[in-house]
A and B are shown apart, each in its own frame.
Chain A
Amino acid sequence: GESVGLHLPTLSVQEGDNSIINCAYSNSASDYFIWYKQESGKGPQFIIDIRSNMDKRQGQRVTVLLNKTVKHLSLQIAATQPGDSAVYFCAENGVWIQGAQKLVFGQGTRLTINP
């Protein structure tokens, strides 16, 4: 299953299938991107990050792809499990302001894993 940008906030996939969550970021000057997972009643939890000098990074069952040309970020989750059900947020580390950067989050995509 696949979501598209910020306009399709829900995604349902069958357990065991792969899922792709997409995100369009806003600032071409951002040099660092993070995917967070938020489960019900919990705060955002770091999943994987990528710097702008890379276009792909792999973790355990997760892969992040970065396309700077079109300012697009995606999170691929392989062999989804029930525990993957959550809201997923992309975030970019925006411009420096007063000597610091702050995370700018996307709207989030709710991923539901069906048994």
Chain B
Amino acid sequence: EAGVTQFPSHSVIEKGQTVTLRCDPISGHDNLYWYRRVMGKEIKFLLHFVKESKQDESGMPNNRFLAERTGGTYSTLKVQPAELEDSGVYFCASSQDRRNTEAFFGQGTRLTVV
């Protein structure tokens, strides 16, 4: 069974540009989470989908970030326009249980904004 996959693995963009990150959860997992780790700091929660609905988006930094999960399968996280402080590693995780106790993480997308 395939795990959580994320694309791209790395992205380098200029300030002001747009980037879209993609996450394919484990098949059958209704719960999908986005997290971010900024250099040297803790992994922080961004948002949680249950199927196609946003359950909790309290961690989204600002309105430059837009997450979607059309059809309740894969999810995208768009940053527009990107700022320097958006650099970091973005992780996606999925689980069957909305308690997030059995979450499996993808390998992450390393975003560098220059």
A residues with CB within 8 A of B: 6, 9, 32, 34, 36, 41-46, 49, 89, 91, 93, 97-108
Contacts and interface: CB of A to CB of B under 8 A. Distances in A.
A106 B42 contact: yes
A44 B91 contact: yes
Contacts of B108: 42-43
Contacts of A36: 105
Nearest to B31: A100
A43 B100 contact: no
Nearest to A36: B105
A93 B105 contact: no
Interface residues on B, range: 20 to 34
Nearest to A41: B107
A46 to B, nearest CB: 8
A107 B55 contact: no
Contacts of B40: 9, 107
Contacts of B31: 100
B44 interface: yes
B45 interface: yes
B43 interface: yes
A43 B106 contact: yes
Nearest to B33: A102
Given A93-B100, A101-B99, A102-B48, 17 more contacts: A9-B40, A32-B99, A36-B105, A42-B108, A43-B91, A46-B104, A93-B99, A99-B98, A100-B48, A100-B56, A102-B33, A102-B45, A103-B33, A105-B42, A106-B42, A107-B41, A108-B42
A101 B42 contact: no
